[in-house]
Structure 1
C-alpha cells in the first residue's frame, strides 16, 4: 500500500521505518537536516522493535497521492502541515498520530468530507539525531474516532497498521484522548529540569509535582463531563479514584509509569523538542488542561505553572534548578 507520513520525527520515523520494513511504499515529509539525512541515508531505527535501515521517499510535501495518510507532526505544526498537503490527501483516510485533544478535530476542519481518525501512541522513542530513531519503550497504539464504539473502517485501518506495529481499534476515542492527556503529564517536569522521565518519577518531590498535574487533569476532565477511555490499564473508574486520593497515595501512579518505562532513559517529547531548539507542544498538553478548566469555570494552577516554566526554559535555552521548579508550583 502507498502510505504518506506527514512528519518524520520520533513517532513518524518509527511508523515509517516499520511500515516500510513490512513492505509498504512509504513517502515521508521532513524539513531541514531531517530531510537531508533521510534522503542521504534513509531512516535508521533501533531499540524495542529491532534494527531497521529503510529507504523511503522524502520531500518537503507529499509528491504522490497515497492510499492512507498518517499525520505525525507536533500538535502546534499540524494545521500548517495538513494545509500544505491538502491537495494530496483530501478524501483519503487520514490518521492523526498526535498528543493533545485537538488533532482529529483540526484535520476534520481542514479536510471537509475526509474520513479522519486518531491514534494514541504510548511508544517512547528518542529522535535526537536527524534520520535516527531509538525506541525506548514498545507499546500497543490505539486507533479510533468520536465517542461511540469502534467502527468497521477503524478496525480495517488498525489491522492494516498492525502488520507493522501493534494497533488496536477502540471505542470512546475522545475519552481515551483524555486518558492519554493524563499520561502526557509526565512530559513537562523532565523537560523543565533536563532530566530523564524515569529520574523525575523516582524522586519524591518531583514525582509529587507530576502526580498533582495528573490529578488536576482528571478533575478537570470530570468537570467537563468526560468518561475516560481505557488506555494501558487506565480507565474511567481507576482515574476517578486516583483523583480522589491525597497526593501522598496518588503518586504511586506516576511511580508505576516510570517503572514500566524500563532502564533506557526516556527524554519525553517535550524535552526532545527543547534539545533540538524547537518550540514544544506544552500549550497543547498542560495548556489544554488550563483551557478546559477555564471552560468549566475552574482553575488549573499546577498545569498553568508548568506551562510558564516550560516556556521559560524555551526562552532561556537551559533547564531550571529543581528548587526553582518547586518554588514556582502553587501549594
Structure 2
C-alpha cells in the first residue's frame, strides 16, 4: 500500500516508520532540520517498539497514486498541511492528532475523501531531527467513516505491535481523548515531564481539577464517554464523585502506565522546538465549550493562558508560581 504521512513528527514519524517496517510504500512530509535529516539519513525509530531505520522519501507535495493519507500535524496546522496535497480528493484520510478540528479541515480540503480519526494513546518523542522514539507503548483506536477505516485498519494492525481497535462513537472518543490530553499543559508550562507533574502534590491536584472540569463539560454536552485504553466512563464517574482523592486517581494511573521513561507530552515538545502549540485545540476546546454552556472552567482557561505565555517568553514557570496563578474558582463538579 502507498501511504503518505503528512507531518512526520513524533507520532507521525512513529507511524511512518512502523508502516514502512511492515512493508508499505511510505512517503512523508516534514519541515526544517527534521525533514532534512530524514531525507539525508532516513527516519530512525527507537524505544518501546524496537529499532528500525526507515528509508522514506520526504516530499513537498503529496500527489497520486496514494492509497491512504495520514494527517499527523498539529491540529492548527491542518489546513496549511492539506494545501500541499494535490489530486487526491477521494483518497481515504486518517487524522491522528491531539485536539479537535483536524477532521473538519480534512473534509473541507478533500470533500470526496472518507475521513477516519485515530486516537493514539502511545507516547512518542522527537529525540533529535530524524529520530523518533516510542516512550510509552499503548493502543490506538479508530473511529469515523467506515470506508476510511476499511483501508487504514489492516495496515495499522500489520504495523503496530499494540492492539488497534475501532469505536463507533466519534464524539465520545474525542472527549475521552481531550480528558487524557489534560496531561499536556502543565509539562509545557513547567518544563517537567508528565511523571514529574503527577509526582508533585500541588501540580497533580491542578491536573485533576482540569480533568474534573472536562468531565463536567462533557456531562453537560451529553457525551457518552468512549473507552480509550484504560480511560472511559468509569474513570469519568470517579472524576465527578466530588472527591479530590478519587479525582487524582486518573492522573496517577496515566503516569504509572507511562513507565519510567520521562514523557514530555507533545505540547512541551512543541515549546522546546520553538513551535506554536495545539493548546487551543486541547484545553482551549474545553474552555470554549464551557463558555457556550456558561460553565466555569478556571483551570482550563488558565492552562491556555499560561501555555501561550511560555510560548511568547520562552521561560518555564516554577511549580510554586503555577499554583499561585491557577485560580481555584468554584468546584465545577457542583455545577448543574
- Give me the TM-score of the superposition, normalised by structure 2: 0.93
Taking the aligned partners of 1:237 and 1:4, their CA distance within structure 2 comes to 37
Other-structure match for 1:31: 31
Taking the aligned partners of 1:291 and 1:309, their CA distance within structure 2 comes to 16
Taking the aligned partners of 1:153 and 1:188, their CA distance within structure 2 comes to 31
Gaps spanning 5+ residues in structure 2: where? 329-336
What secondary structure, in the 3-state scheme, does the structure 2 residue paired with 1:106 have?
Answer: helix
How far the C-alpha of 1:88 sits from its partner, in A, is: 3.6
How far the C-alpha of 1:246 sits from its partner, in A, is: 2.1
Other-structure match for 1:161: 156
- Specify which of 184, 189, 194 is matched with residue 191 of structure 2: 194
Other-structure match for 2:132: 133
How far the C-alpha of 1:63 sits from its partner, in A, is: 4.2
Taking the aligned partners of 1:63 and 1:89, their CA distance within structure 2 comes to 7
Q: Deviations over 1:173-221 (max 9, x none)?
A: 2201100100000011111110111011111111111100011011011
What secondary structure, in the 3-state scheme, does the structure 1 residue paired with 2:73 have?
Answer: coil
What secondary structure, in the 3-state scheme, does the structure 1 residue paired with 2:222 have?
Answer: coil
Answer yes or no: is the 8 Å Cα contact 1:126–1:134 preserved in 2: yes
1:287 matched to 2:312? The reply is: no
Q: Deviations over 1:118-151 (max 9, x none)?
A: 00001101104111001101111011117xxxx4
1:52 matched to 2:47? The reply is: no
How far the C-alpha of 1:36 sits from its partner, in A, is: 0.8
Other-structure match for 2:331: none
What secondary structure, in the 3-state scheme, does the structure 2 residue paired with 1:232 have?
Answer: coil
Other-structure match for 1:326: 323
Taking the aligned partners of 2:280 and 2:245, their CA distance within structure 1 comes to 28
1:180 matched to 2:170? The reply is: no
How far the C-alpha of 1:111 sits from its partner, in A, is: 1.6
Moved more, 105-114 or 221-230: 105-114
Taking the aligned partners of 1:293 and 1:109, their CA distance within structure 2 comes to 26
How far the C-alpha of 1:37 sits from its partner, in A, is: 0.5
Q: Deviations over 1:55-113 (max 9, x none)?
A: 0010222244311110000111011111221x243111100001112221221122212
Taking the aligned partners of 2:30 and 2:73, their CA distance within structure 1 comes to 10
What secondary structure, in the 3-state scheme, does the structure 2 residue paired with 1:118 have?
Answer: strand
CA RMSD of aligned residues (A): 1.4
Answer yes or no: is the 8 Å Cα contact 1:101–1:178 preserved in 2: no
Residues 196-235 of structure 1 aligned to structure 2 (within 5 Å): 196-235=193-232
Other-structure match for 2:119: 120
Answer yes or no: is the 8 Å Cα contact 2:76–2:102 preserved in 1: no
Taking the aligned partners of 1:301 and 1:118, their CA distance within structure 2 comes to 29
Equivalences, count: 326
How far the C-alpha of 1:237 sits from its partner, in A, is: 4.0
Taking the aligned partners of 1:22 and 1:81, their CA distance within structure 2 comes to 25
Moved more, 169-178 or 303-312: 169-178
Other-structure match for 1:84: 84
1:240 matched to 2:237? The reply is: yes
- Call closer, same or farther: CA 1:47–1:234 in 2, change over 3 Å: same
What secondary structure, in the 3-state scheme, does the structure 2 residue paired with 1:125 have?
Answer: strand
Moved more, 239-248 or 282-291: 239-248
